[in-house]
Amino acid sequence: MTVETKNAAKAPGKNSNLAAAKAARNDEFYTQWADIEREINAYLEYDPDLFGDKVVLLPCDDPEWSNFTKFFALHFKDLRIKKLISTSLAPDSNSARLDYQPTLFEAEDPKFDPARTRIKGKVFVLEPHDINGDGVVNIDDLQWEYLDGDGDFRSAEVTALRDEADIIITNPPFSLFREFLAWVAAGDKKFSMIGNENAISYRQVFRLVKTNKLWKGATANNTDMVFGVPKGADVKAADRLKAERLGYPSDDHRDYTRLGNSCWFTNIEHGRRHEALQLMTMADNLKFNKKLINTLNGGGEYQRYDNFAAIEVPYTDAIPSDYDGVMGVPITWLAKYNPDQFDILGNG
């Protein structure tokens, strides 16, 4: 089957907290441990030795606040990671961290320098050495130092770390998604990153999807993801309540919000993207698919475009299994895209 994706119109106000974050450069969205674990486990189901003897880079990450470094440090030995590297942005270069206070992790370290801590980024490294002699290698063996610059991923020193790495995993600033993806792609590395699913409509992103160099992750597709945000961040009451219902009430350290259109983007294989989409025939869709029938307002056939030889398929579950021509499908279909089952023509 050949398809052309269509961009759904955005409802006014939907996920406006993402738009506000982009406008204000308020990019502090902390990923939950459970979301990281589910996605990484999906990769490991397909390739149990994915991280074996690999250098893993977690840019835009601060283990004092974020779960990415904590997760990979905990699983450092069983994943057989060769080296784990994390970098963080200097507080003065992060508009969302104006009230930054050093944690005890940093302030009690002999390397702590109050004159540098606000203007310099940091690099954290974990290698297979039991530094503290407790018999295990984990986050307590993490070593850190100040970077020469502020830790921006585009800097020469962080780019050098990218070049050293085999795999890059992170939740980059939403406002810099396109730049970050271009930076990662230029390094020709395996990667997994969180972003707004509407980013698929960006030309550079869709080009990678079409050429099978980028695809959506295995989890969190078309579902809510919960993120921690700094205390005092603007969170809609409905999103705060939804986060609470999902098990994340606000605490003394941060508030929580849910984002309904966040997802993982990756070039790491997972078997779930090769699962065939189960479909009905065109006749059965027209007879039994109530959503499609309602959309057609009683019409007995799929609509066709006036200026393009293709049928209009308004819902993923309305794709007819016995139609071999070109069809226009919603952009959300990409969460079910199987490259063995469909060919992508373009994005209109």
Tell whether 245 and 103 lie within a shared domain.
yes
Residue that terminates a domain, selected from 246, 274, 302: 274
Tell whether 320 and 207 lie within a shared domain.
no
Q: The sheet that has 225-230: what strands, in order across it?
A: 30-31, 225-230, 254-259
Q: The sheet that has 167-170: what strands, in order across it?
A: 143-146, 122-126, 83-88, 55-58, 167-170, 190-196, 262-266, 215-216
Number of structural domains in the chain: 2
Tell whether 247 and 141 lie within a shared domain.
yes
Q: What are 94-103's contacts with CB under 8 Å, separation 24+?
A: 94/28, 95/24, 95/25, 95/26, 96/25, 96/26, 96/27, 96/28, 96/230, 96/233, 97/28, 97/230, 103/64
Residue that terminates a domain, selected from 249, 274, 299: 274
Tell whether 197 and 318 lie within a shared domain.
no
Residue that terminates a domain, selected from 252, 274, 296: 274
Question: Structural domain of residue 306, as residue ranges?
Answer: 282-347
Tell whether 226 and 318 lie within a shared domain.
no
The pTM (predicted TM-score) of the whole model is: 0.85
Tell whether 40 and 121 lie within a shared domain.
yes
pLDDT at 233: 81
Give the count of alpha carbons within 13 A of 257, CB side only.
Answer: 22
pLDDT at 19: 52
pLDDT at 21: 42
Task: Tell me if 16 is assigned to some domain.
Answer: no
Task: Tell me if 13 is assigned to some domain.
Answer: no
Tell whether 180 and 269 lie within a shared domain.
yes
Tell me the CA distances in angstroms from 134 to 64, 115, 131, 258, one per residue in order.
21, 33, 8, 38
Tell whether 338 and 266 lie within a shared domain.
no
Give the count of alpha carbons within 13 A of 278, CB side only.
Answer: 0
Tell whether 135 and 252 lie within a shared domain.
yes
Task: Tell me if 15 is assigned to some domain.
Answer: no
Tell whether 263 and 300 lie within a shared domain.
no
Tell whether 160 and 37 lie within a shared domain.
yes
Task: Tell me if 22 is assigned to some domain.
Answer: no
- CA 25 to chain centroid, in Å, comes to 18
Tell whether 37 and 168 lie within a shared domain.
yes
Give me the phi and psi of 57, to 5 degrees please: -110, 135
Task: Tell me if 78 is assigned to some domain.
Answer: yes
CA–CA separation, 114 and 117 (whole Å): 5
Encode the chain (348 residues) as per-residue pLDDT tens digits.
566 555 543 434 445 555 544 444 356 788 999 999 999 999 999 999 999 999 999 998 777 778 999 999 999 999 999 999 999 999 888 766 556 677 767 778 899 998 898 899 999 999 999 999 999 999 999 999 999 999 999 999 999 999 999 999 999 988 899 999 999 999 999 999 999 888 988 889 999 999 999 999 998 777 789 999 888 788 899 999 999 999 999 998 889 999 888 999 999 999 888 989 999 999 999 999 999 999 998 788 999 999 889 999 999 999 999 999 999 999 888 888 899 999 999 876
**Beta-strand relationship, 55-58 and 167-170:** parallel
Round the CA-based radius of gyration of the chain to a whole number and report it.
Answer: 22
